Chains A and B, each alone.
Chain A
Amino acid sequence: MESSLYRYIIRRSIRPQLVLIAIAFLLGLFLNPLMLNLQKKIINRAIGRHDLDALYWYCAAFLGAVLANGGLKYVKQNLEGYVSETMLRDLRTDLYVRILRFPLPHFRSTSTGQLVAMILGEVEDLGQFFGEALSTPAFHGAMLIGTIGYMVVTNPWMAGLGMILFPVQVFFVRKLQRRVSSLSRDRVKLVRGLSDRIQESVGSIQEIYTNDTTAYEASGYRGLLQRIFGVRLNIYNLKYLIKWINNFLEKFGQFLLLMVGGWLIIEHPGSFDVGALVTFLQAYGQLNEPWRELINYFQGKENARVKYEQVIASFDPPGLRPEFPLDEPGRAGEVDLQGAYDMRQATVVLDGTTTALDRLSAAIAAHEHVAVVGGSGSGRSTLALLLAKLHPYTGSVQLDGRELSQVPTALIGRQVAYVGADARLFTATVLDNVIYGLRHQSPPRPGGAGAEGGDWLDLEGIGAADRTELLARVLEACRLVGLDDDLFSFGLRATIDPKAKPEVASRLLLARRLVMERFAAEDGEPAVEFFDRARFAVYASIGENILFGHGQGAELSLETLADQPHFRRVVADVGLEAPLLELGANVAKDMVEIFKDIPAGDDLFANFSLIAEAELPEYTRLVARLDRTNLTEGLAAEDRNRLLTLALRLVPARHRLGKIDDAFMAKVVAARQRFRESLPADLARRFEPYDREQYFADGTLLENILFGKVIATSSLAVKRVNTLVEEVIAGHDLRTVVMETGLDYHVGLGGGRLAAAQRQRVILARALLKRPHVLILDQALAVFEAERRAETHQRLLELMKGLTVVAVVERLDLARHYDRVVVLDGGKVAEVGTYQELAGREGLFRHLLTQAGLKA
């Protein structure tokens, strides 16, 4: 990147800048003087001579000049804005792209907070400057030259006098501005420190809480802000000092003119006259206006330069990875990597001091499976990074006879897969994360669609013809790494849009019918209470029984139902209001009685109470009031609402509270029917009633398949239901559908909604999906359960038969599955051989085995 601000501006925006300069000259040299000239002419030639015709003509010309001047200024400002915004956008892109090229070790010493502060904050001020960088000095410079020219022609001596103070001004301003610049630099550094501090506090919040250091942290933060405050105050002082000097010198110039001019007129009459002095004072005023602007510009320019240089310096670390073509569909598939590594005297130094690999020499044959072992600090992880071209090195590392640093990243990215121990996922769906490894192929651009559009998928690279085949590949990869059960359960708990996937919805409806038939055919205790429009469901809440469907939006949700006007009308119409209030009152009494002595915070509340712990005092008071008031009339609106809400939450078969008789159930079913039939049209559009033959979009796949409530009082009902649902799903080829739905599961921020082992499986699936020629693992299965590790290693090795695998293994005994074992010690190769050989002879490997309590 250009090291100087002006070079950057000229290289990135020379053409619009030239247009801007042209406009500035036009305005400053031509239109502005023209307007002044016309004014003078109107006064002298038209008004002075009482010439109406001339007045009309000159005024028309003046109006024209004003319009042209205004129009050009408008164009200039817009163009400046355009240049500013374009350059700001491009600069931010350039900087981000630079981050993507930072060598891996650089990230250890770079804070995200600073990078964000630089790209968003520091660069912001540059934007405005980009637009006026050349046009402002051009405009005011032109004005200044015009005025000076005029003065020199009229009276060179006085002109010289008018400018005599300019060098003094330049001297002071430059001197002071230099100090401002140095302070600005300090300020930027301090503000960056502030970003660091915020980032660190967020990252270490657990430590802060654990050690009760909030006050300490806050005080440190305040101290930093105080220093920034001091620097900023200094900058203010200097800025206003500069302003003061400028103002003084300007007025001092006037003083000089008046003094010398007056003296001349009085002492040497004839050499100078009053008229000339007045004209000169005017000209001096005109001279000073652009001069002042130029000085302001100089100050702004200095600030911009300091910022630019400081930002650029932080984005130019040594060892920057090569530039990549942003939107060139460059394919690197023409070469197939064999995966033969030859390392000679390879050295890797971390943080400039720690030698992680020390003149290491080793070879890995093509298609070989090699396990790397060694204690912590042996350099094993660095070796894995090195082989994946993730770390700069000295010495020689050859891949297929070519120096690794010369192998294009495009080739590495497509054919080498690296999986480390602690995986971070992108905040997206499982699918997005798995196919991420294919996103190096920019989409074809029909009609010049933007590079951010399209799907950026290198299907060709993995030999998939279309998206369907890709999906099949993704599922296969997930199965290989043992993610399929997780996907299945994600899928069962996910929703789909039946309009977008009518075929899937109809197959799920078929599954629903089959499940119903299977349960109908079974004898013994029923396990599921299926929804039936004409029957009260005792395993559903009263609210669910009345609503009997899914409403979109808050208005028709179970929690707010008690307050819903249509619901209230229906309940009153069918005569259910009084029974519901009575039920609510009884439930409230029972709840208060049962829970009043339970200690606060007991999980009994969360698990069993119909009243949240926080609501208990309110309900206690309500119960006390109930003894004194008449339920149907004397109750305040709020209390009625509370009682109704409570009644609606009740699941009769589960809670066994209150009196639910046949008459009550009949009324509920009547309310259900009326609720649905008389639903206002606007609500009806957002309401899906339960219907045996209809898929409901708001329900999960499982809810749609089951279409009812599991009868928890029947022993093992849950188990039976699960088994049966799984059987039906497997028997009708629905497992894939469910797993595909599971692929759309959102993993949360950085994968936070998945367990560590699940995250790792997603990363492994990503690695396998791209069908790598070289697979490098660095304790990738560390978070797996011990018994799954060996199995997964074997499966991976089976899959990678005929291809190269280098794995830093999690446990020494896992190395037995590999062709060869490389034992590292202190960044050097200590031993190499097969597992049997190494275990059989005296040496480091055997020592490590014994130390780990494993049999040689």
Chain B
Amino acid sequence: MPLEQDVETLRNIPLFAGLPTPRLKLIAYTAEVVRFAPGEVIVQQGDPADAVYIVTEGEAEVWIRDAEGNEIHLATMGRNSLFGETAVICKGRRTATVKARDRVATFKIRDTLFLDLVRQSPEIGMQVMTVLAERVERTSNALLQHQHLHH
């Protein structure tokens, strides 16, 4: 059953590891499976956010455009990584552009469900904070590096 596989996939993601099976099933069931061709944009910096994504196959690249319009490559995300949560939590616009490097399959979890999860489960809230903190650090490092290279 594909849904059972999806539940296993979710269980392997640290963020969701502690959730009971029915919850995982609900996430897997309501999540959309969305596939992307190589090079296709998954989220666009500046767009309104309506979902978070989990990479289930392939790799995706994160790009950010700074004030001067330079495209900076921030990171590459592989299987089981989560992205898009910053904008969803802040109810804002996408902070970076994510593109498919090769053929990428994702779980798309709509924002309201994701926010419910964060609210209801302290473990998930904690995990999200950790991920966010790492992101901030990585982003600022990348920007600093970029400035060094160009100045």
A: residues with CB less than 8 A from B are 524-525, 586, 590, 593-598, 604, 607-608, 655-659, 712-716
Candidates A594, A658, A712, A716; contact of B22 at CB < 8 Å: A594
Nearest Cβ on chain A to B2's Cβ, whole angstroms: 4
The 7 closest A-B CB pairs, nearest first, are A656-B2, A656-B3, A524-B37, A713-B33, A715-B36, A594-B26, A715-B34
CA distance A595 to B6 in the complex (A): 17
B50 close to chain A: CB less than 8 A? no
Chain B's closest residue to A603 (CB) is B112
Candidates B30, B32, B40, B42; contact of A713 at CB < 8 Å: B32
Residues of A within 8 A of B3 (CB): 590, 655-657
Residues of B within 8 A of A586 (CB): 1
B25 close to chain A: CB less than 8 A? yes
CA distance A513 to B42 in the complex (A): 31
Nearest Cβ on chain A to B105's Cβ, whole angstroms: 8
26 sample A-B contacts, Cβ–Cβ < 8 Å, listed by A number: A525-B35, A525-B36, A525-B37, A586-B1, A590-B3, A590-B25, A590-B29, A593-B21, A593-B22, A594-B22, A594-B25, A595-B26, A604-B26, A607-B30, A608-B30, A655-B3, A655-B29, A656-B1, A656-B3, A657-B29, A658-B1, A659-B1, A715-B35, A715-B36, A715-B37, A715-B42
Are A656 and B40 in touch, CB under 8 angstroms?
no
CA distance A311 to B25 in the complex (A): 70
Nearest Cβ on chain B to A179's Cβ, whole angstroms: 71
Are A656 and B42 in touch, CB under 8 angstroms?
no
Residues of A within 8 A of B29 (CB): 590, 594, 608, 655-657
Candidates A524, A593, A604, A712; contact of B25 at CB < 8 Å: A593
Nearest Cβ on chain B to A503's Cβ, whole angstroms: 39
CA distance A524 to B38 in the complex (A): 9
Given contacts A713-B35, A715-B36, 12 further A-B contacts (CB under 8 A): A525-B37, A594-B25, A594-B29, A597-B22, A598-B26, A607-B30, A656-B28, A658-B1, A713-B34, A715-B37, A715-B40, A715-B42
Residues of B within 8 A of A608 (CB): 29-30
Residues of B within 8 A of A607 (CB): 30
Residues of B within 8 A of A525 (CB): 35-37
Residues of A within 8 A of B26 (CB): 594-595, 598, 604
CA distance A598 to B29 in the complex (A): 14
Residues of B within 8 A of A590 (CB): 3, 25, 29
Residues of B within 8 A of A715 (CB): 34-37, 40, 42
Residues of B within 8 A of A713 (CB): 32-35
Residues of B within 8 A of A595 (CB): 26
CA distance A598 to B35 in the complex (A): 29
Residues of B within 8 A of A597 (CB): 22
B: residues with CB less than 8 A from A are 1-3, 6, 21-22, 25-26, 28-30, 32-37, 40, 42, 113
Residues of A within 8 A of B40 (CB): 715-716
CA distance A597 to B37 in the complex (A): 37
Nearest Cβ on chain B to A527's Cβ, whole angstroms: 11
Candidates B6, B21, B22, B28; contact of A596 at CB < 8 Å: B22
Residues of A within 8 A of B30 (CB): 604, 607-608
Residues of A within 8 A of B2 (CB): 656
Q: B-side binding surface: helix, strand, loop or mixed?
A: helix
Are B37 and A712 in touch, CB under 8 angstroms?
no
Chain B's closest residue to A658 (CB) is B1
Residues of A within 8 A of B28 (CB): 656
CA distance A596 to B6 in the complex (A): 20
CA distance A607 to B32 in the complex (A): 12
CA distance A716 to B3 in the complex (A): 23
Residues of B within 8 A of A659 (CB): 1
- On whether A656 and B33 interact (CB within 8 A), knowing A590-B25, A593-B25, A594-B26, the answer reads yes
Are A714 and B35 in touch, CB under 8 angstroms?
yes
CA distance A388 to B148 in the complex (A): 72
Chain A's closest residue to B36 (CB) is A715
Nearest Cβ on chain A to B50's Cβ, whole angstroms: 13
Q: Find the residue from B26, B29, B34 having the highest chain A CB count within 10 A.
A: B29
CA distance A597 to B21 in the complex (A): 12
Chain B's closest residue to A523 (CB) is B37
Q: Find the residue from A594, A607, A712, A713 having the highest chain B CB count within 10 A.
A: A594
Residues of A within 8 A of B37 (CB): 524-525, 715
Are B6 and A656 in touch, CB under 8 angstroms?
yes
CA distance A496 to B3 in the complex (A): 40
Are B32 and A712 in touch, CB under 8 angstroms?
yes
Chain B's closest residue to A604 (CB) is B30
CA distance A593 to B40 in the complex (A): 36
Nearest Cβ on chain B to A709's Cβ, whole angstroms: 15
Nearest Cβ on chain A to B47's Cβ, whole angstroms: 13
Candidates A598, A657, A716; contact of B1 at CB < 8 Å: A657
Chain B's closest residue to A595 (CB) is B26
Chain B's closest residue to A592 (CB) is B22
Chain B's closest residue to A712 (CB) is B32
Q: Find the residue from A593, A608, A656 having the highest chain B CB count within 10 A.
A: A656
CA distance A714 to B35 in the complex (A): 5
CA distance A714 to B103 in the complex (A): 11
CA distance A597 to B34 in the complex (A): 27
Nearest Cβ on chain B to A371's Cβ, whole angstroms: 38
CA distance A606 to B47 in the complex (A): 27
CA distance A598 to B23 in the complex (A): 10
Candidates A604, A657, A714; contact of B34 at CB < 8 Å: A714
Residues of A within 8 A of B32 (CB): 712-713
Nearest Cβ on chain A to B53's Cβ, whole angstroms: 10
CA distance A714 to B21 in the complex (A): 27
Nearest Cβ on chain B to A521's Cβ, whole angstroms: 16
Nearest Cβ on chain A to B84's Cβ, whole angstroms: 13
Residues of B within 8 A of A714 (CB): 34-35
CA distance A255 to B150 in the complex (A): 131
Chain A's closest residue to B100 (CB) is A715
Nearest Cβ on chain A to B83's Cβ, whole angstroms: 14
Residues of A within 8 A of B35 (CB): 525, 713-715
CA distance A811 to B30 in the complex (A): 47
CA distance A9 to B37 in the complex (A): 84
Nearest Cβ on chain A to B74's Cβ, whole angstroms: 21
Residues of B within 8 A of A655 (CB): 3, 29
CA distance A759 to B25 in the complex (A): 45
Residues of B within 8 A of A716 (CB): 40
CA distance A604 to B116 in the complex (A): 12
CA distance A368 to B32 in the complex (A): 59
Chain A's closest residue to B28 (CB) is A656
CA distance A716 to B108 in the complex (A): 13
Nearest Cβ on chain B to A690's Cβ, whole angstroms: 26
Nearest Cβ on chain A to B81's Cβ, whole angstroms: 17
Nearest Cβ on chain B to A826's Cβ, whole angstroms: 47
Residues of A within 8 A of B36 (CB): 525, 715
CA distance A607 to B26 in the complex (A): 13
CA distance A590 to B3 in the complex (A): 10
Residues of A within 8 A of B22 (CB): 593-594, 596-597
CA distance A607 to B113 in the complex (A): 12
CA distance A604 to B25 in the complex (A): 13
Residues of A within 8 A of B6 (CB): 656
Chain A's closest residue to B29 (CB) is A594
CA distance A657 to B29 in the complex (A): 8
Residues of B within 8 A of A593 (CB): 21-22, 25
Chain A's closest residue to B33 (CB) is A713
Nearest Cβ on chain A to B86's Cβ, whole angstroms: 20
CA distance A714 to B28 in the complex (A): 17
Chain B's closest residue to A716 (CB) is B40
CA distance A597 to B1 in the complex (A): 23
Nearest Cβ on chain A to B117's Cβ, whole angstroms: 12
CA distance A268 to B114 in the complex (A): 119
CA distance A428 to B25 in the complex (A): 47
Nearest Cβ on chain B to A723's Cβ, whole angstroms: 15
Residues of B within 8 A of A594 (CB): 22, 25-26, 29
Residues of B within 8 A of A598 (CB): 26
Residues of B within 8 A of A524 (CB): 37
Nearest Cβ on chain B to A116's Cβ, whole angstroms: 47
